[in-house]
Amino acid sequence: QRLKAAVHYTVGCLCQDVAEDKDMQFSKQAIAAISEITFRQCDNFAKDLEMFARHAKRSTVNTEDVKLLARRSNSLLKYITQKSEELASNNMEQKEKKKKKSGAAKGARTGEHPEAAVTESEDSNMA
């Protein structure tokens, strides 16, 4: 019930922004109808995402499920794909930084150079 109220409030704010921008009015019934449709569509999206993950024999929804959900909207799919790639890139950078920090700490403890410690750990991952 609180979620539904939050959706209604957000839709009301968006309608107010559009009304001011386009110099028009939205009736309370129109806002309520848009809110209800939005809430039902989000419910459908959630169920679809759950089914996509289950079909792939997973218990967790991932970005591929979201891309599959957005497949009918080219602009939305493009946006989601771009953001997904940005997040993946940022995650890789964070992992590399952590790897270098832990490698530098190992090198300091063992008296080695940090580069050697990183190379060793990379080599052990390859084996």
Span 84-122, pLDDT tens digits: 999 999 999 998 888 887 777 666 555 554 444 444 444
The pTM for the full model equals 0.67
- Which among 95, 97, 41 has a CA at the least distance from the CA of 70? 41
Is the model's pLDDT at 70 over the cut of 80? yes
Is the model's pLDDT at 5 over the cut of 90? yes
Average pLDDT over residues 8-28: 97
Is the model's pLDDT at 82 over the cut of 60? yes
- Which among 95, 100, 94, 126 has a CA at the least distance from the CA of 114? 100
Is the model's pLDDT at 28 over the cut of 70? yes
Q: What pLDDT, on the 0 to 100 scale, is given for residue 108?
A: 59
Q: What pLDDT, on the 0 to 100 scale, is given for residue 118?
A: 45
At 111, list the tokens. Answer: 């008296």
